[in-house]
Amino acid sequence: MGHHHHHHGHGQDTKNIKVAFFINLVFTIIEIVGGVLTNSVAILSDAVHDLGDSLSLGLAWYFQNYSKRERSSSYSYGYGRFSLLGAIINSIVLVVGSIFILTEAIPRLIAPEQPDTFGMIILGVLGVLFNGAAVLRLKKGSSINERVVALHLLEDVLGWVAVLIGSIVMHFYDIPIIDPILSLGIAGFILFNVYKNLKETIQIVMQGVPNDADLAKVTNTLLAFDEIAEVHDVHIWSMDGQYNVMTAHLVLSKKFDLLTLEPLKKQIRRQLEDSNIEHATLEFELKDAHCDVKVEANNRD
């Protein structure tokens, strides 16, 4: 009966991802040159990995930009969920990257190899500085996409910290097994965080109730109004992890005219904002009215 029409530009600022993309791309080029000059296969392998990161960042930048487009006849809620697509693809790339780390690290546990430690120390310092700058930039963002990309770059920062520490130790001591042990620890940390991010992203795609919205609390908020006798068919979901949407059927305690219902809707929506509901569609019903949605739900039961 009452629909909440208001405009929200809830796409994320792409500047953070853009800056991180160029930082990572520049370092990838430096890394390729450094790998050739030091004749290090490990560094060149990581250069390929960072090139994949650059592609992922470019993809995230594209999807984040795309998600800021205005709503259309085809996408009435807007394009906010396109940023989730970037987050899913980046998570998949992270998993593939972690598997690559594992396949490289496990054989080296059995047969450790002594790398060119001096070249690794120089590139390790540069790796921490470049990737650290990109992570700090993305920490300013709040979207899932930015968090996944930040995690992507954090993988590189931790990897380069491991390279730096390991190369310094191996420079003075003959303990080449340090490198694969650190790599295994980092891969485990990354996969655990990817799991958490993917779980949240899938919950949004499957229209699960957002973590920052309590269904029981929302229902109690609605029932607290004297004019509301009953609440049913309450649905809460998130468009992109930040913009929460709700629909509900509200049974009135008695018959009210439109002049009374309009201010009531405004009061309800103000209350719902405290429960992190940005967009609410409310349908009012009389006590004896026939509700098709409710009957269909009961028939399914």
Tens of pLDDT, residues 30-42: 888 887 776 666 6
Residues 6+ positions from 172 with CB-CB distance below 8 Å: none
| Residue that wins the pLDDT comparison between 260 and 38 | 260
| Residue that wins the pLDDT comparison between 213 and 234 | 234
What are the sequence ranges of the domains in the chain? 15-205, 215-300
Give me the pLDDT at residue 290, please.
55
Domain 215-300 CATH class label:
alpha beta
At the topology level, CATH places domain 15-205 in Alpha-lytic protease prodomain-like (1.20.1510)
51 pLDDT exceeds 50?
yes
Facing residues of 250 across strands? Answer: 231, 284
Tens of pLDDT, residues 198-232: 888 888 888 888 888 888 888 888 888 888 888 88
Q: What is the mean pLDDT of residues 168-194?
A: 80
Q: What is the mean pLDDT of residues 123-135?
A: 85
Facing residues of 284 across strands? Answer: 250
296 pLDDT exceeds 50?
no
d(CA 58, CA 90): 10
Taking the CA atoms of 132, 136, 142 and 143 in sequence, report the sign of the dihedral they define: negative
| Residue that wins the pLDDT comparison between 235 and 182 | 235
Give me the pLDDT at residue 210, please.
86
Question: Closest Cα to residue 145, out of 214, 245, 224, 60?
Answer: 60
7 pLDDT exceeds 60?
no
In degrees and rounded to multiples of 5, residue 77 shows phi and psi of -90, -5
Tens of pLDDT, residues 103-116: 877 887 888 777 77
The CA–CA distances, whole Å, from 83 to 24, 65, 150, 168, 204 equal: 20, 8, 14, 40, 12
Tens of pLDDT, residues 78-88: 777 777 777 78
Tens of pLDDT, residues 53-99: 777 778 777 876 776 777 778 877 777 777 777 778 778 877 887 78
Give me the pLDDT at residue 141, please.
63
Residue pair 19/137 in contact (Cβ under 8 Å)? The answer is yes
Residue pair 43/34 in contact (Cβ under 8 Å)? The answer is yes
Question: Closest Cα to residue 156, out of 56, 289, 253, 232?
Answer: 56
The CA–CA distances, whole Å, from 116 to 35, 67, 286 equal: 10, 45, 79
For residue 231, what is the DSSP state? E
Give me the pLDDT at residue 145, please.
63
Give me the pLDDT at residue 134, please.
78
Give me the pLDDT at residue 166, please.
79
Does the reported pTM lie above 0.85? no
| Mean per-residue pLDDT over the chain, rounded | 77
262 pLDDT exceeds 80?
yes
Tokens of 71: 């709503």
d(CA 106, CA 221): 55
Going by DSSP bridges, is the β-strand pair 244-252/228-238 parallel, antiparallel, or unpaired? antiparallel
Long-range contacts of range 62-65, CB-CB < 8 Å, 24 or more positions apart?
62/86, 63/145, 64/11, 64/12, 64/14, 64/17, 64/143, 64/145, 64/146, 65/14
Give me the pLDDT at residue 73, please.
82
d(CA 124, CA 257): 71
Percent of the chain clearing pLDDT 70 (strictly above) = 84
**Alpha helices, H only, the chain:** 15-38, 41-66, 82-110, 117-138, 144-172, 178-205, 215-223, 258-273, 292-300
Give me the pLDDT at residue 298, please.
41
